[in-house]
Structure 1
Amino acid sequence: MGKVQHKLDLQGLQALCSMNYVRLARLLPAGRTSFCYAIAPASSQICDSLLSVTTVQKTPYTSLLNLVYLIDEAQESDFFLLQVRSYHDARMTEVVSCQKQRNFQLYYQYPNPQMYHSDEKRQLNELLAQWLRGCAEHGRSVDGFDAGRFANVRP
C-alpha cells in the first residue's frame, strides 16, 4: 500500500484564524490589556472555568496575548496556556505557542518524534476557537480580576 497523500488546507486554516480574530475582538474590552471570563453553561453543576487574557506586546500591526485556561479556579497550578498573535492588518489571530512549545509546522509526517498530529497547527487554532466560542456563549466577565495571579505563568 502506498503513502497516503494529505491535502494541506491552507485556505481553511486562514479562514479559522480570521474567525478567531473576529471572536477575540468581540471579547476584548476596549483599551484594556487584561481581562478574565468565567465560563460555565447556566445549567452546569460544575465549577466555573476561568479564561484569562493578557496582552504581552502591542505594536501598530500585531498584538501578542497570553491565554491561560483554568479548569478549576481553586487549583491555580492546573492550567493550560496558549500564546496567540493577532495580525491587525490581515485581521487574523493564530496560536504561536502551546504549553511552552513553539513554531508549529503546517503539516507533520506521522508518526513523528514529538508525536504531534499531522494537522497540529490547525487543531491548536480550533482549540482557541472553542475557548472563544465558550466565552461568547457561556462566559461572563469577572469583575476585579487580578491578572497578577497568573504572573508566574510564562509561555
Structure 2
Amino acid sequence: MKRLNCLLVIFFMFFIVSCDTDNDDMELLETEIIALNEILLDSEWRITSFTENGQNKTDDLENYTFIFQSSNELVADSNLGSFNGTWRVSDDNGTEFDPSNDLDFMIFFTPNGKLGDLTNAYDVISADGSEINLKLEENAEGNSGYLSFARN
C-alpha cells in the first residue's frame, strides 16, 4: 500500500511539474492575429469558394470585392452596389460552440441581406499574402462550410 501511495505521489508530482504554465501559446495566437490583420488590410479580396451545408454558393458572390478596413468595417462592392459589414480576428479560447483553442475569423453582415450567409465565426485553416482559407465547423444552428478569399 505504501508503494502504491508513493507511486501516486510521484505521478502527481511529475504531472504538476510537466504542466506548461508559460504564455507561449497565448503569445503565438496574438502574433497570428496581428499577422492575419496585416494580410487582410494589405489588399482587396474576392471570394474564390464558399460552401455551406454542402451547397456551393460561390457563384452568388463572385462579383464582390471585399475591403477589410482597420476600423473593423468590411465593405463588399459589386455591380449591385456596396454593402457594409464588420469583421474581426480573435482567439476564441475554446469558449464558443467550437471547443478548440484557435483563431476565429468573424464576418457580420445584415442577416436578411444579400451577404447574410457569410455571417459566421470561421476557424482559420491557412492564410498568406495571396489566399485565406476558413472553415465553419458545425455551429449551434447546425451549419458547416468553407470560405476562401484570394487577393484581388
Q: Report the TM-score range of the alignment, normalised by the length of the smaller protein.
A: 0.3 to 0.5
**Larger strand percent:** 2
- TM-score normalized with structure 1 length: 0.33
- TM-score normalized with structure 2 length: 0.33
Give the structure with higher Rg (CA).
2
Q: Give the number of the structure with larger relative contact order, counting CA–CA contacts within 8 Å between residues 6 or more apart.
A: 1
